[in-house]
Structure 1
Amino acid sequence: MDLKKVERVYTSYAGVYDQIFGKVFHEGRESAIRNLNVQPNERVLEVGVGTGLALPMYPRHCRIVGIDLSEGMLAKAKERSEALRLTHVELQRMDAGAMNFPDDTFDTVVAAYVVTAVPDYRKVVNEMIRVCRPGGRIVMLNHFRNGNKLIAAVEKVISPLTKHLGWRTDLSLSTVLEGTTLHVARKQQVNPLRFWALVECVNAKNGYVVLNGAAASYANGNGAAGYAHGNAGGHYASEHSV
């Protein structure tokens, strides 16, 4: 896959995306945003905002920036945002692998059905880490390679075919997280047949310390309290926090 092909594929989907994929992926999007517990004035980036299906699910007391490479998808998102008067939402056309935002701009970064649909997932993940503040949350909703050897073998075989449709099926979560500063705080299977995973990570960059213990609150960039949901009772504390 290359950027131009990805843009062409998803722009071609723009007119029918909601009808074909909307209901199938609705449960995952709803689960991702419902569990964010977004705080007042929290800064949220949605990477690969698509037609903006998730935008009405966010509370209006936060600030949302949505980016997408596809002009066709973004046009649909803008129509939805304007129709629903989502004045807390800003939409921009942008390559997720080379974002124009300064470091540590956002408290939370959400990427739904993105990581396996881009030419270079490492660039995208590294950019999400860069623009998310230390201790912030990076939430990925995606299909990752199955742990079952038989299913994984099938996924590997069909991946070259699905790439022509705009995504791959042979990428594992461990591969995506390898070498990054992301620590998994919560993971659950969602959508029909539970083939998709909702993964919430803590961005442990710049000396942010991840500890074991009970879940703990952290302060977002605006001084408001946010929450990370601990895996096995894990809690997250920055060595720079007050």
Structure 2
Amino acid sequence: MDLKKVERVYTSYAGVYDQIFGKVFHEGRESAIRNLNVQPNEQILEVGVGTGLALPMYPRHCKITGIDLSEGMLGKAKERAEMHRLTHVQLHRMDAGAMEFADSSFDTVVAAYVVTAVPDHRKVVNEMIRVCRPGGRIIMLNHFSNGNKIIAAMEKVISPLTKHLGWRTDLSLHTVLEGTSLQVARKQNVNPLRFWALVECVNGKNGQVVKNGNGTAVYSNGNGHATEHHTNTNGHFANGHSH
């Protein structure tokens, strides 16, 4: 995949994306945002904002910046932001692999269904780390290759076909995180058949990783507090705080 092809494919999806993918991926988006525990004036970047399906889900006391390479998808996102009067949202056409933001501009970076839909996932992940502040969090919602050898083999076979549709199926979470400063704080399987994973990472650049007594990375909210997550009996994550 190259950037021009990605832009062309997703612009062609713009008019039908919500109808085809909206309901299928809704649970994952809702889970990602519901568990953010967003602080007042928190700066959040959504990479690959698409048609803006998630934008109305964010609380209005934070500041949202959304970027997307596809002009067609971004046009739909702007329409949605205007319809819902989302004055706390700014949208820009931008390459996720070469963002035009200063280092450490955001407290939280969200990338839903992005890292397997770009030509170079390493560039995108490194850019997300760069623009996210030390101790901030990076949330990835994505399908990653399955640990089951039979399913993984099938994913590898069909990946060349799905690339023509705009994504790949053979990328593992280990490959995405390898060599980065990201530390996994929580992981939850979501969406139909639980083939997608919601992964929250703490941005450990400059050595800024806080850990709890169990050695799990926890997110620093910027006010001197660390936030950790516990799984409840329903498989969802509830927030807890350690000071």
The answer for the alignment partner of 2:211 in structure 1 is 211
The answer for the alignment partner of 2:114 in structure 1 is 114
1:152-202, CA deviations, whole angstroms, 9 ceiling, x for partnerless residues? 000000000000000000000000000000000000100000000000000
Q: Does the CA contact (< 8 Å) of 2:227 and 2:241 recur in 1? A: no
Q: Does the CA contact (< 8 Å) of 1:184 and 1:200 recur in 2? A: yes
The answer for the alignment partner of 1:23 in structure 2 is 23
1:42-67, CA deviations, whole angstroms, 9 ceiling, x for partnerless residues? 00000000000000000000000000
The answer for the alignment partner of 1:183 in structure 2 is 183
The answer for the alignment partner of 2:200 in structure 1 is 200
1:207, distance to aligned residue in structure 2 (A): 2.0
Q: Does the CA contact (< 8 Å) of 1:38 and 1:226 recur in 2? A: no
The answer for the alignment partner of 1:87 in structure 2 is 87
The answer for the alignment partner of 1:153 in structure 2 is 153
The answer for the alignment partner of 2:237 in structure 1 is none
RMSD of aligned Cα (Å): 2.0
The answer for the alignment partner of 1:139 in structure 2 is 139
Please give the alpha-carbon distance, in whole angstroms, between the structure 2 residues aligned to 1:202 and 1:230: 15
Q: Does the CA contact (< 8 Å) of 1:210 and 1:236 recur in 2? A: no
Gapped regions of structure 2 (runs ≥ 5): 232-239
State the AA in 1 paired with 2:112: A
1:211, distance to aligned residue in structure 2 (A): 2.5
Please, what TM-score do these two structures have when normalized by structure 2?
Answer: 0.91
Please give the alpha-carbon distance, in whole angstroms, between the structure 2 residues aligned to 1:181 and 1:136: 11
Percent identity over the alignment? Answer: 81
1:136 to 1:230, Cα distance in 2 relative to 1, 3 A: farther
Q: Please say if 1:173 is aligned against 2:194.
A: no
Please give the alpha-carbon distance, in whole angstroms, between the structure 1 residues aligned to 2:241 and 2:138: 14
- Map of 1:64-75 to 2, 5 A cutoff? 64-75=64-75
Q: Does the CA contact (< 8 Å) of 1:66 and 1:89 recur in 2? A: yes
1:217 to 1:206, Cα distance in 2 relative to 1, 3 A: closer
Please give the alpha-carbon distance, in whole angstroms, between the structure 2 residues aligned to 1:141 and 1:43: 19
1:135, distance to aligned residue in structure 2 (A): 0.4
Please give the alpha-carbon distance, in whole angstroms, between the structure 2 residues aligned to 1:99 and 1:192: 32
1:213, distance to aligned residue in structure 2 (A): 1.5
1:122, distance to aligned residue in structure 2 (A): 0.1
Please give the alpha-carbon distance, in whole angstroms, between the structure 2 residues aligned to 1:236 and 1:178: 28
Please, what TM-score do these two structures have when normalized by structure 1?
Answer: 0.92
Q: Match of 2:76, SS? A: helix
1:217, distance to aligned residue in structure 2 (A): 6.3
Please give the alpha-carbon distance, in whole angstroms, between the structure 2 residues aligned to 1:4 and 1:89: 26
Please give the alpha-carbon distance, in whole angstroms, between the structure 2 residues aligned to 1:159 and 1:183: 27
Please give the alpha-carbon distance, in whole angstroms, between the structure 2 residues aligned to 1:54 and 1:212: 30
Please give the alpha-carbon distance, in whole angstroms, between the structure 2 residues aligned to 1:219 and 1:156: 38
Gapped regions of structure 1 (runs ≥ 5): none
1:225 to 1:77, Cα distance in 2 relative to 1, 3 A: farther
Please give the alpha-carbon distance, in whole angstroms, between the structure 2 residues aligned to 1:50 and 1:219: 27
Q: Please say if 1:35 is aligned against 2:30.
A: no
Q: Match of 1:110, SS? A: strand
The answer for the alignment partner of 2:100 in structure 1 is 100
1:229, distance to aligned residue in structure 2 (A): 2.6
1:119-175, CA deviations, whole angstroms, 9 ceiling, x for partnerless residues? 000000000000000000000000000000000000000000000000000000000
The answer for the alignment partner of 1:11 in structure 2 is 11
Q: Does the CA contact (< 8 Å) of 1:103 and 1:132 recur in 2? A: yes
1:226 to 1:10, Cα distance in 2 relative to 1, 3 A: farther
